[in-house]
Amino acid sequence: AQTVTQSQPEMSVQEAETVTLSCTYDTSESDYYLFWYKQPPSRQMILVIRQEAYKQQNATENRFSVNFQKAAKSFSLKISDSQLGDAAMYFCAYSHGANSKLTFGKGITLSVRP
C-alpha cells in the first residue's frame, strides 16, 4: 500500500522569507502523481502544485516550487517570499492508477510571522 509521511507537525516562517516543507512517500509504482494541497481554516482544499513522476523537471507555480527526488521518494515544497496568506495546513498527497484517489499525509501547520 502507498503511504505518505509528513514528519513535521508545525513550521513557522518570517514574512518574505523562504520555507521548505518536507514529505516522503512509499510506493512500488513507477508512474504516479504527487501533490501539495493547502487547507485554510475555511476547510476548502486548494491544489498548490502537482508533479508527474515521469517528469524529471521540478514543477514550479509562481512562489511555489518542489524538489522531487524520485529515487529517495522525497517531495518537498518550497515557498518563496512567504506571505501572511500562506498560513494554513499543507498536505502532501499521492495518486496512482485508473481512479486517481488521493492518499494524503497528516499535514503540517504553517504559520507566517509578520
Question: Minimum Å distance from CB 114 to other proteins?
Answer: 26
Whole-number Å distance between alpha carbons of 100 and 66? 21
Grid cell locating 68: 522531487
Strands (E), the chain: 3-5, 10-14, 19-21, 24-26, 33-39, 46-52, 60-61, 64-69, 74-79, 88-95, 102-104, 108-113
Q: How far is the CB of 3 from other proteins (least distance, A)?
A: 11
Q: Does residue 43 belong to the site contacting other proteins (CB under 8 A)?
A: yes
Pick 17 or 55: Cβ nearer other proteins: 55
Residue 63 touching other proteins (CB under 8 A): no
Smallest gap from residue 101 Cβ to other proteins (A): 4
Among positions 46, 61, 83, 113, the unique one binding other proteins when judged by CB under 8 A: 46
